[in-house]
Amino acid sequence: MTEKTVTPTVNSAGYDVPPELRQSVAITTLDKIWNMGRRYSVWPMMFGLACCAIEMICTAASRYDLARFGMEVMRPSPRQSDLMIVSGTVTKKMIPQIVRLYNQMPEPKYVMAMGACASGGGPFKEGYNVVSGVDQYIPVDVYVPGCPPTPQALLHGLMKLQEKIDRESITKVRWYQKDEIPAIPVPILGPDIIDPRDNAAIREMASRKAAPAAPAAQPETAEAPAA
């Protein structure tokens, strides 16, 4: 009787799998397992700001079906959310609430700027009441262009986010490092929006304005010639 020869198999991670284990054991990396868990359970926060939010609602409805991404559970609390979809015009009145909600989300957390308004101000850019892009305050992972983006565009953005998650490593992502990540200072709404991170520059500018003006140079007078 001739013995069946089995060629050694090396899996994609580069490990030699013994023949008796090939049908029952899979070898992979911790990063792949970790990322797979996260990519299929990104729970978006349930909030919308303007017209783009209607497209986001359509995406979650039956025709487009967010459930196939494991994202159908839109959470009404930032404490249970992994993804903030900023869908609409970011006004100066709203940005303090957006930053506060972002700070309240547990890590790992992601942000998507949906539409021209959230990405850079859109048709209201430079308007008296509009922030020129939410990325001036919170870090954005994926930008979805359009005014408004279609549900298909939003789905494409969600797939891009999944690809980004696939490339992450738990040893390198910022939220698993030793140092604590400080919360983003919440902007203050006064007559205009104030970013507390600009406080030092604002103080310096104010002190320069308040400083007494240097005395004006006196015109030189010519000495009278001796008689």
Q: Which residues bind ligand SF4 (CB under 6 A)?
A: 50-52, 88-89, 115-117, 122-123, 147-148
Closest approach of Cβ 10 to ligand SF4, in Å?
50
CB of 112 to ligand SF4, least distance (A): 13
Smallest distance, ligand SF4 to C-beta of residue 45, A: 17
149 versus 165: smaller Cβ distance to ligand SF4: 149
**Closer CB to ligand SF4, 54 or 159, in the complex:** 54
DSSP assignment string, 42-75? --BB----SHHHHHHHHHHSTTT-GGGGT----B
- Report the residue number, 50 or 60, with the smaller CB distance to ligand SF4: 50
Provide the pairing of β-strand 110-114 with 142-144.
parallel
The pair of structure tokens assigned to 211 is 């400083």
**Which of these, 66, 137, 135, 57, lies nearest to 97 by C-alpha position?**
137
Calpha distance 119→134 (Å, rounded) = 6
Q: How far is the CB of 157 from ligand SF4 (least distance, A)?
A: 13
Quick one: 154 or 165, whose CB is closer to ligand SF4?
154
Question: d(Cα 66, Cα 82) in Å, to the nearest integer?
Answer: 15
